[in-house]
Every structure is written in C-alpha cells, then in structure tokens.
Structure 1
C-alpha cells in the first residue's frame, strides 16, 4: 500500500517538473545540439565519426544532468559557496603544475580523458559568487560590496591568465560584472569598473610596452589587436581570422555543401571542429545555416533572461 501511495505521489511531482520546464528553452538547446552534430559531421568528414559520436555522448550526458538538476532545490547550494570557490581556486592552481600542452597548462590528465578546470570553474564561480552577492544584498550600494565581488572574480581570472587563457579570464571578469549588474549595483560603480577595465587594457597594450615592460607576449598582443586589420599580414597571428573570413564569405546564401567547402575540407580553416566551427558552418550551409544557429542562440538567451526575470529569489536570478 505504501509503495502504491509513493508512486502516486511521485507522478504529480514529475508532472510539476515538466510544467515548470520552458519548452522553448528546451527546443533551442536541442536545436543547437542538432546543428552541432550536423556541422561536425561535415567539418570532420576525414576523421570518421569520432567527433560526432563524442559530441552526441556529451549532449546526452548534459541532458541527463539537466534533468537531474531540475529536481534539486538549488537554494541549498548557497551553503556550499566556500567549497565551490575553493575547489575552483585549487583546481586552477593544480593545472599550473601539469605538463604543458601546446605551450599552455590548461588540462589535468585523467585515465581515459582530460579535464580543463577553467571550464568547470565558470560554473563554480557563478554558484559561489551568486551566494556571496546574496549575502551582501543589503549593502549593495556600498563600494566595499562592489570591490569584494569584483575581487572574487578577478582572483581566478588572474590564475587563468597565467595558464595562459586570456579568453576564459575575460569571461571570469565578465561573470563578476554581470553579477553586480543583476544585484543592483550603482551605475556609478559599474561605470567606474568599465573605466578601470579600459585603463588596464590601455596600460597593458600601450603604456607598459612603451616603458619596456611587456605584460603579454607579442603573439598575444597580435591576437588581441589583429581583428582590427585581419588582412594586413595574413601569415601572422591573424591567419586564423583571415581564413575564417574567407570560409564564411565563400558560403554565400545557401552554402557550398560538404564537398564544395574547400576551406574546411582541404584544411585551410584551422580548428574547424572547435574554435572555428561557426566558420565551417557558414561555408557549408551559408547565410541560412548561420542565421538558423544565431536565431537559436537568440531564443536561448531570451528564454534564459526570462528565467532570471521570473525567478522567485535573488539567488535564482543570479
């Protein structure tokens, strides 16, 4: 009798979870997964089905984790903020002692696969920083609150720069800034942070080199500034950008198909399965294919912002 009663109680609970789920959010995520599988199939045709199968496995695992997390009371995660933040810092320190791969210390080798702590760190930073922000919500307009939240984001960002991974470090800093924005930080404080960021960029790229101090390597500087003139020296650090622009431009309206996409198929486009997968998509499926993917991303962002707006508590919004 008890088992029957529990079964009847579980059924409405499952229905409530399904009702709370946003179908458009789910559709946009599935659509992006489908587009990624189709693009990988053409971009990595010479490598067999390895990349497609791996992406499919990751997508299935992600869907399973999402369903499991939807049944958890996320507010309980607040009490683990120190654990999350500490784990993020420790793993990003450990990776610095790992063997270098292509000149960077970004991966921790494990049996059968590798882990990139900076990627998991994004989630851990959001979980921990949101909890710290909620704790300071009654003092949101104090400069000390702005400074503490931003500092908590900059510490791991500096660790990631050392690896080196400038792109991810910028994401870490952006997470802290967006957290302050959603928290309701004064516009004066936010403007001050933007001005400080611009000043820091000017010092790193212009001021320090003029004094003979080079914070970044010449290659990193070229990667950061090369987008301004990608065709000026296509054989330098802007080679990747130059080839990606050729790939996207040659796609036209409907694309060149998997056989006609010579930039991708003949290896001119670097990293077609990772960093420049959108360029591979643009060459193969053209403007229409790119528009579909961008529309799905827009839908995903819109529904995500809707979740933030409708959240019943500040921690959920953050």
Structure 2
C-alpha cells in the first residue's frame, strides 16, 4: 500500500458524528413551538361574539387565516404543540417503563416464565393499534389519558422483545454468567449491569418509536377517535379543516408540516445514531 493511500485509509472520517444539519431545524421548530408557543400566543378560543368568519385566508389580523370555527389558526398552532409532544412522550415513557422490566424478566427467568411472559405479550402484539383506539372511542373512552394509555400499552410487546433479544445475545449472556459466578444476585445483574449495557439499543429504538407513536396518535385524532373536535392539537386541526383545504390551505398544511417535520427529524437522528454505532472499515 502506498504511503498516500495508507494515510487516507487511516485518516478518520469527518462529518459522521453529531446531529445531521437538517435534523436541527426539523426538530427544533416544532419543539420550540411546543415549549414557547403557549407563552406568546393569544387565546386559542376567542371571547364570545369576537370570532371571525370561518375558513378565511391569511390577512385581516390573522397571519394564517381562520379555521372552520372562525378561530385564529396561528394561535391554535401555537397552542397545539404541548398536546402532541406531551401525549407522545407519555406513551413512550409508559411503554418503556413496562416493556424494559418485562424483557429483562423474560431473559433472566426460567423457560416457563419466559414463555408465559412472551406469549401473553404476543396476544397484545397481534392487536391492530387503530382497532384498539376505535374500540375505546366506541365505548366512549376518549380523551388524552385514554390515548396515552392505549398507545403506551401497545408499545410494550415490541419493546419487551427488543430488550429480551438484546439480553439473550451471546456477549450479554457471557457477562451475565460471569457476574453470577462472582456471586452477584439477579437484581444486580439485570437491573444494574445489564440494563446499563442495553442503554444504547434502547435509545436508538426510542427515536424510531417516537415516530411510530406520533403517527398512531395523529391517525387517531385525524379519524376523530381521540381528542375533542375543539382541541388545538395539530392532528385535530388537520381533520377539522380538511374540507377547506383549497379555500384555506394554511389551516391544514401548517399543522401537517409540523407533524411531518417531527417524524422526519426524529428519523434523521436515529439514522445518524445507527451510523455512528457502526465500526469503520
């Protein structure tokens, strides 16, 4: 190998680490609106008798026009972020809070317990998410808490499977056996050591799962299965103003763009995290 080629081969690759430049604005704008939007926005619902005409284009004191109910679209967009991010984050926390311990239990328990845990989760895994939400809506179980609980529960089986598979990998099992031979108990091995080893795959999965949960919740709200029709949630705004897409496109395209920005930004970060974990050739 020539000297110049060898130096190029040994030279570390640049630009692979850190967040992709496009992911920063894609995630930053929706997150900024969710955090600071309600602090700077006016009231989402105007006082009685002051509502503007419905589905008006931008102008006349309404930079993004009005929605189907005559409310200012800009104020609704600024108020809708906490609902989206709060419900999505809550569902993720619920899924990991239950899925990680179940996965560790299945990986470290006897075969009978492993089969019992995983087969029970398989029954839940077979349920289509939208069918569960439609059943809740049909039985009048609506609202943010029901959405959060349903979406979080539906994430438990895949998370538990991920954790169990990672904990049963040959390298992980070798470490577990070594710690057991040193006299360490089940709690130390699984909840202190093994859980720390699983932090990287769990963090990577969380980025992709964020987009999955966001899509599920947005679909439920778009289909009218979740939050009330007067909610400023971005998915609800899309559903309520879909009929006025051609006369007042901002009421649909702006919240749709924010939801798409969240999903694409999260996926870009996950792709970069996976690339950073690869061993360079």
| Same structural fold, with TM-score higher than 0.5 when normalized by the shorter chain | no
Please, what TM-score do these two structures have when normalized by structure 1? 0.32
> Normalising by the residue count of structure 2, what TM-score does the alignment of the two structures yield?
0.35
